[in-house]
Amino acid sequence: MSVTVKNEQEITAMREGGKRLAEIMGKIGENVGPGINTLELDKLAEELVFRQDGIPAFKGYGKKIGNFFPATICASLNDAVVHGIPSEKIILQEGDILKIDIGMKFEGLFTDMARTFPVGRISAEAKRLISITEQSFREGIKNMKAEMFLSDYSKTVQKYAESEGFSIVRSLVGHGIGKKMHEDPQIPNYFSKNYWDYKLRAGMTLALEPMVNAGHFEVKMDNDGWMFMTKDGSLSAHYENTVLITEKGTEILTDPK
């Protein structure tokens, strides 16, 4: 496993790229509503990325294996967990929840983030699922800093989500990020001895992304070879940020808060 530590110049570029990506996500979110189709949101996202001097990170991903992703964003509706392909046929309806995942290359370095948006008025369960998913991320990073272990993050996220009656997706994980879209290490949102544990170092940049289901944690892949869906048809939420590890804690590079 080869984990990269970023230098100050690289961190500065990722900090600026993350700020711009967060602005893009905010503008996409403003356009989520009943009657909008997900291809419209994708076209908007691509326009915004180029306007920010970025390059869409997802579009064309997978060309080497012959099954490339065709869009700038992943748009995953309701029981879709991640990697939904935008389509003019997917029209948002009142009560839906939509996961938007977007990555951008800026000055040669990648950042990645995801949010779950309500479409109009949504159920109390859906609101709570979205809130708990975000909070599981925030609980997970509370004690993250150099010299701590990745497994501490994984254990905390899992414990929090499950204590609230939800389940953590186990087939999909977070990842290192920076010079490449996906770098070592893989970062599960649950504890497993099957994953290599790693002591954190200042300068590591990680894409941390809890995926939380209202029902069982099992997922299945759609026929398109990209989208993952909950196996039991339950709702799923996704929350992701690119995070910098420091000596004292973390810096969220894609969160304007």
> Could you give the domains of the chain?
8-252 (3.90.230.10)
DSSP bridge pairs for 241: 208
Which residues are within 8 A (CB) of 144 and not within 5 positions of it... i.e. 6 or more apart? 152, 153, 200, 243, 245, 249, 250
Asked if residues 86 and 214 have their Cβ atoms less than 8 Å apart, the reply is no
The answer to whether the CB of 1 falls within 8 A of the CB of 198 is yes
The model carries a pTM of 0.96
Residue-level pLDDT at 257: 63
Q: How many CA atoms lie within 13 A of 68 on its CB side?
A: 11
Q: What is the residue-level pLDDT of the chain in tens, covering all 257 positions?
A: 788 999 999 999 999 999 999 999 999 999 999 999 999 999 999 999 999 999 999 999 876 556 789 999 999 999 999 999 999 999 999 999 999 999 999 999 999 999 999 999 999 999 999 999 999 999 999 999 999 999 999 999 999 999 999 999 999 999 999 999 999 999 999 998 877 789 999 999 999 999 999 999 999 999 999 999 999 999 999 999 999 999 999 999 998 76
C-alpha distance across the termini of the chain, in Å: 33
